[in-house]
Structure 1
Amino acid sequence: MTTNTSTQIQLVARPVGWPTHDDFRSVTVELPELAPGEVRVANEFISVDPYMRGRMNDVRSYTPPYALGETMTGGAIGRVVESTSDAHSVGDVVLHQEGWRDVSQGAASGYRVVPELPGVPLSTYLGMLGLTGFTAYLGLLEIAKMKEGEIVFISGAAGAVGTAAGQIARLKGASRVIGSAGTPAKVALLTEKYGYDAAFNYKDAPVRKQLKAAAPDGIDVYFDNVGGDHLEAALSSFNDGGRAALCGAIQDYNATERVAGPSNMSNIVTRGLTLQGFTVGNHFQHYRAFTEEMTGWFRDGKIVFDETVVEGIDNAVEAFFGLMRGENTGKMVVRVGSAA
């Protein structure tokens, strides 16, 4: 792979409902000589994530929308191949936000050098050891304030955040961890690999009914990746004083009509519930604690993870579509360079 040019994926139209290939294009960009204090990085993995669907819409959100005709951004990890920065050497592994391309170049301050961990693929920095794991950690412990002995329900449990959240809940002493997923294989994986006490396929029957059966004593904490009928089910099953960390609303992302909200919002009042939405950008003061604890769990063999790896920058859009269709187990990444 030459590093003098960069293959990049750009958004060229705002999707209406489900995105299509016509909403994107691939371009080849000639890279200029490095200015002082810059680095050039050959990306090895880039991340595709559900939040990116929201950035394709020109609406108010916690992060600016992608600009039409410009290369999209997102998490990526790679190696420095050229540097004019005193803080970065050729060969350094760096984590950054210039994804959706195979070669990245920019100010060195935007590229954080990270250590290589024996036996751990670099892609893990985009998942369990990165913002994905931090999202789960933050939502459970700082937003929902989960306590030892509590009953936890996690929607979208077989995805990247869900598989992290279930394990963190277990490690932090939850008395029962319940998850939802969309296929029998994913349901089995939750209980057989990720330590969930119970799991159900949300397609089999109404979520409210299945959650009642899985949590006969109610729930204390809900980690919401889905919204819609899952949030409604949680509101029905909450014990008094329950808390929800609202992380995502996958059910709404590709909707073309208004999605109905839960019909039982009055339970928030009568049961004294707390529902709080969050994004990680407002809580980075907790990142060091997460890194230290998660690294320790990895070192002690207490964390497992799955990745769904799609090969090639030219397949990045299809990888994103697969993510939206729920075809991933664990973190979805695109390998755009040599693996380490």
Structure 2
Amino acid sequence: MTEAVSTQIQLVRRPQGWPVHEDFRTEKVGYGELAPGQVRVANAFLSVDPYMRGRMNDAKSYIPPFALGETMTGGAVGRVVESAADALPVGTVVLHQYGWRDLVQEDAAGFTAVPEIPGVPLSLHLGILGMTGMTGYVGLTSIAGMKPGDTVFVSGAAGAVGTAVGQIAKLLGAGRVIGSAGSPEKVRLLTEKYGYDAAFNYKDAPVREQLPRFAPEGVDVFFDNVGGDHLEAALDVMNRDGRIAVCGAISLYNSTEKTPGPDNLAKIIQQSLTVKGFTLGGYLHLREEFGARMTEWFGQGKIAYDETIVDGVERTVDAFLDMMRGRNTGKMVVRV
């Protein structure tokens, strides 16, 4: 066994508004020889995700904030290159949460072995086959209780979760699926590739004006990744006993001032709506169920996906900032 050097991205300053490169630094961290029970993993792909922006703030949330001066954690997939743990021999593909680094060395308990599927990029374990796809599945099934025939509206539909939600909704029998996106190209992609029945560009006109035209019979399920004006617009058109699964609020993450809430919250009462926020950590018991269904759909060729790939661990911050500004289609990953 040998010593090694890992390139890692660390948070050094709490962002004020939009993060900038100066909020981070790149460090070289040395690893000694493996201790018993440890493995060394060469990462293949790193994940950058919207929730990471919230963890950069020193604020109470469902998960502790990132610590200043420490390496950013988050999803990654790689391969064991050295092992002192029988359960994870050299060559095993693993998922972990050690985040933004090219090489990681930790106890084997911190890694989960995943199958290497011929012809399928390892990055999909971070996207449609992993937590991203599972987020869409859980939001539609356990949170919103989607039923066959429901009309489903998805905000931020061209992102990683949104592209998964639209497809899963159709596979579960949704009657009509509507999505919002931020460019004409993404709108076309939603209807031509991802099975959305209709989509619109939220930059063309206020969402509140556009959505009723695309949902003339109302919306039964709203899967919200954006918040703000999208939530307000959805409340206007929700059918009685409608369900809203609140997955994210990316429109608010970089705000430096308090943002006024929707002016139509009374709709929740008038229409007997259910509004429920969720994070995936409380639903990991559904991993096996999701995995079985997604593997079947994927094997049958019923799942499409896009990835936006940025090359090089040193460009992880670039990838994160581009993702936050909506410059990705599908899942944004860094190829180490």
State the TM-score, normalized to the length of structure 1: 0.98
What is the CA distance between 1:209 and its match in structure 2? 1.4
- Superposed CA offset, 1:283-330 (max 9, x none): 111111000000111111000100000000010000000001100000
Contact 1:43 1:101 in 2 (8 A): yes
- Superposed CA offset, 1:116-138 (max 9, x none): 11221000000001100010000
Measured in 1, the distance between the counterparts of 2:243 and 2:33 equals 52
Measured in 1, the distance between the counterparts of 2:258 and 2:301 equals 44
Query: What's 2:182 paired with?
Result: 182
Contact 1:242 1:272 in 2 (8 A): yes
Measured in 1, the distance between the counterparts of 2:214 and 2:196 equals 11
Contact 2:3 2:30 in 1 (8 A): no
* Residue 235, structure 1, aligned to residue 235, structure 2: yes
What is the CA distance between 1:104 and its match in structure 2? 0.6
1:167-316 → structure 2 map (5 Å cutoff): 167-316=167-316
What is the CA distance between 1:282 and its match in structure 2? 0.7
What is the CA distance between 1:250 and its match in structure 2? 0.4
Query: What's 1:143 paired with?
Result: 143
* Residue 130, structure 1, aligned to residue 130, structure 2: yes
Query: What's 2:66 paired with?
Result: 66
Count of paired positions: 335
What is the CA distance between 1:32 and its match in structure 2? 1.6
- Superposed CA offset, 1:81-102 (max 9, x none): 0000010110110011111000
One-letter amino acid of the structure 2 residue matched with residue 323 of structure 1:
M
Measured in 1, the distance between the counterparts of 2:220 and 2:209 equals 17
One-letter amino acid of the structure 1 residue matched with residue 203 of structure 2:
K
Measured in 1, the distance between the counterparts of 2:45 and 2:333 equals 6
- Superposed CA offset, 1:255-293 (max 9, x none): 011111111000000100000000000111111100000
Query: What's 1:8 paired with?
Result: 8
What is the CA distance between 1:249 and its match in structure 2? 0.2
Instruction: Label 1:37 to 1:197 Cα distance change in 2 as closer, same or farther (>3 A).
Output: same
Query: What's 2:45 paired with?
Result: 45
Q: Secondary structure at the match of 2:251?
A: helix
Contact 1:72 1:100 in 2 (8 A): yes
Q: Secondary structure at the match of 1:323?
A: helix
Query: What's 1:331 paired with?
Result: 331
* Residue 89, structure 1, aligned to residue 72, structure 2: no
- Runs of 4+ in structure 1 deviating by more than 4 angstroms, as ranges, are none
Q: Secondary structure at the match of 1:239?
A: strand
Measured in 2, the distance between the counterparts of 1:129 and 1:62 equals 24
Contact 2:127 2:133 in 1 (8 A): yes
Measured in 2, the distance between the counterparts of 1:118 and 1:195 equals 26
Gaps in structure 1 of 5+ consecutive residues: none
Q: Secondary structure at the match of 2:276?
A: strand
Q: Secondary structure at the match of 2:142?
A: helix
What is the CA distance between 1:3 and its match in structure 2? 7.4
Q: Secondary structure at the match of 1:68?
A: coil
Q: Secondary structure at the match of 2:28?
A: strand
Gaps in structure 2 of 5+ consecutive residues: none
One-letter amino acid of the structure 2 residue matched with residue 111 of structure 1:
F
Measured in 2, the distance between the counterparts of 1:258 and 1:3 equals 49
Instruction: Label 1:295 to 1:3 Cα distance change in 2 as closer, same or farther (>3 A).
Output: farther
Q: Secondary structure at the match of 1:234?
A: helix
Contact 1:3 1:42 in 2 (8 A): no
Q: Secondary structure at the match of 2:73?
A: coil
Q: Secondary structure at the match of 2:188?
A: helix
Contact 1:3 1:103 in 2 (8 A): no
Instruction: Label 1:87 to 1:228 Cα distance change in 2 as closer, same or farther (>3 A).
Output: same
